[in-house]
Every structure is written in structure tokens, then in C-alpha cells.
């Protein structure tokens, strides 16, 4: 793949869609290219367009190391965006526990 010298890659982990709850494809790392130029607005139709074809390229890698190795092999400057820590999952029953660890009274009379 011939990449212009001004292209810069962004490597990040795939974010799941809001309706996905399974772990499939969460371990995949995505390589995308930063926009080289701002998009143009067509004066007649109002559509947004760009001459930068690298904005359409999305490459998936099984690991972060594989994505970095590809960038180094091709001579592409890159930046890595690490995923944020996720919240600890809670079960429904934990909503009714008190802070001391025991069950709380839902309707104290």
C-alpha cells in the first residue's frame, strides 16, 4: 500500500456498538488514518466531500503489537490510543446491598 509521507495513523481498540453485549471483536485493534485536509462542502447540494482517500481505510489487527509492526514496516508514523478503564460490572442484587456488605431493608418501617 502506497501511503503519502504526510499520512499519520491512529491505532485504537475497536469500540463495541451500544447494542452489543458480547465480547466478540473487542480484542481487535483498528488502524485508521488522520484526515490530511478538512472536508469540503459542496455549494450546490451541501454534501460534505473530501479528496483524501485514506479516510476510508480501516485495517483490523489481532493485537496492538501487530498494528505497530505494520506501521514500522511501512514507515507510517502512528499514535496509539489506549482504551479507558471500564466500570466494574454490578449485578442487579448488588443494588440492594448496604455499604457494610449485608442486605439493606428496602422498605424500613
Q: Is residue 1 part of a domain?
A: no
Q: Is residue 3 part of a domain?
A: no
pLDDT in tens, 20-47: 666 666 778 999 998 888 888 888 888 8
What is the CATH number for 65?
3.30.160.190
Structural domain total, the chain: 1
Q: Is residue 96 part of a domain?
A: no
Q: Is residue 76 part of a domain?
A: yes
Structural domain boundaries enclosing 29? 9-17+24-84
Q: Is residue 53 part of a domain?
A: yes
38-60 as b/e: b if 16+ CB within 10 A: eeeeeeeeeeeeeebebeeeeee
pLDDT in tens, 46-97: 888 888 888 888 999 999 999 999 999 999 999 999 877 767 777 777 776 6
Q: Is residue 108 part of a domain?
A: no
pLDDT of 25: 64
* Residue-averaged pLDDT of the chain: 80
Amino acid at each position: 500500500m502506497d501511503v503519502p509521507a504526510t499520512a499519520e495513523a491512529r491505532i485504537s481498540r475497536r469500540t463495541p456498538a451500544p447494542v452489543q453485549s458480547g465480547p466478540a471483536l473487542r480484542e481487535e485493534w483498528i488502524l485508521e488514518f488522520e484526515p490530511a485536509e478538512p472536508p469540503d462542502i459542496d455549494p450546490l447540494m451541501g454534501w460534505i466531500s473530501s479528496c483524501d482517500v485514506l479516510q476510508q481505510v480501516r485495517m483490523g489487527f489481532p493485537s496492538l503489537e501487530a498494528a505497530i509492526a505494520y506501521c514500522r514496516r511501512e514507515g507510517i508514523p502512528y499514535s496509539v490510543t489506549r482504551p479507558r478503564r471500564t466500570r466494574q460490572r454490578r449485578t442487579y442484587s448488588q443494588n440492594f446491598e448496604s455499604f457494610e456488605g449485608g442486605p439493606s431493608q428496602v422498605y424500613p418501617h
